[in-house]
Amino acid sequence: MKGTDLTLEPVSGAIGAWVRGYELGVGASPDTSARLQRALAERGVLFFDFGRVPDFGEFFEFAGMFGKVQGEFGQEIRDRKQPATPFIDSSVTPMKPFRINHWHADGGPLPVPPRAAILAAHEVPETGGDTMWASMVAAYDALSPHLQRMLDGMRIVNNNRRTGFLEPREHIHPAVVVNPVTGRKCLFVDPNYTAGFVDVPEAESDALLRFLFEHINTPEFHVRLRWKPGYCAVWHQQVTKHRGVADFTGPRKLQRLTVDGEPLLGATQ
């Protein structure tokens, strides 16, 4: 990244980069923040090695480089020393019952989903418990121009009936969204939240969704992080889907913050 002491190391072909040179607690200039936000939109997920577990103040400051920080899904943080919903904790929300191990973007059924999520590892299993991300830009680009054109004009119903653990929510979104930073189109369907296409008969809708959910599984779209305490991941909710890997026992605690999103821009708007 030119002009700063931060460097970007891409991880896989389509998605992910390690950011080297960020020091916890040093603060960041608006210029650094702008560069990181650009890198986030381009690579989908950024990884940082803090070298140690951050305290909440440091973590909050770090998250602020990516936008307006919230707790979970628009929940305001009233006390920066004691966040209301601080952790993804496997003893509270185990992966399988909560479908954390299925592809999704957080807040998909909300009218304005968050832009980014930021996780910092506090306690991780000795083996397993990785997180995977899939590039929805790569997923869209790999479709035929015929299917791209069709999906560009379609809308989806997103709800949380399958996950079921949050207040019931439902919202209609574009099937393809345009990232406002890069202008790239991102496939926006996922198997946790997308219930169907608007104005499409159920049999057609189900068949197309089955194909797209399978399409997201293509390894060339993916990157995977083996967590260590002090590792941090920041991901863009429009550009990527993510999932945990439910192959571990024992505690897994990751501190989490969310950054406010903007209204989604459809491909044909």
At 142, list the tokens: 């790999």
Residue in the shown chain whose Cβ atom is closest to Fe ion: 106
Residues sharing a CB contact under 8 Å with residue 256, sequence separation 6 or more, in sequence order: 72, 85, 86, 87, 88, 117, 118, 119, 120
Q: Which is nearer to Fe ion, 100 or 267 (CB)?
A: 100
Using alpha carbons only, give the angle 58, 64, 65 rounded to the nearest 5 degrees: 105
Nearest approach, Cβ of 236 to Fe ion (angstroms)? 13
66-89 exposure pattern, b = at least 16 Cβ within 10 A, e = fewer: bbebbbbbeeebeeeeebeebbbb
Contact 24, 62 (CB under 8 A): yes
| Partners of residue 70 on adjacent β-strands | 258
DSSP at 206: H
Q: Which is nearer to Fe ion, 53 or 116 (CB)?
A: 116
Nearest approach, Cβ of 16 to Fe ion (angstroms)? 16
Nearest approach, Cβ of 86 to Fe ion (angstroms)? 15
Nearest approach, Cβ of 268 to Fe ion (angstroms)? 28
CA 203, 95, 19, 218 torsion-angle sign:
negative
At 25, list the tokens: 């607690």
d(CA 22, CA 28): 9
Q: Which is nearer to Fe ion, 72 or 106 (CB)?
A: 106
Nearest approach, Cβ of 53 to Fe ion (angstroms)? 21
Nearest approach, Cβ of 144 to Fe ion (angstroms)? 30
Q: Which is nearer to Fe ion, 143 or 259 (CB)?
A: 259
Q: Which is nearer to Fe ion, 185 or 241 (CB)?
A: 241
Q: Which is nearer to Fe ion, 104 or 184 (CB)?
A: 104
Residues that bind Fe ion (CB under 5 A): 106
Contact 113, 164 (CB under 8 A): no
Q: Which is nearer to Fe ion, 102 or 185 (CB)?
A: 102
Nearest approach, Cβ of 104 to Fe ion (angstroms)? 6
For 16, 25, 69, 183, 213, the CA distances from 22, given in Å and listed in that order, are: 17, 9, 19, 27, 36
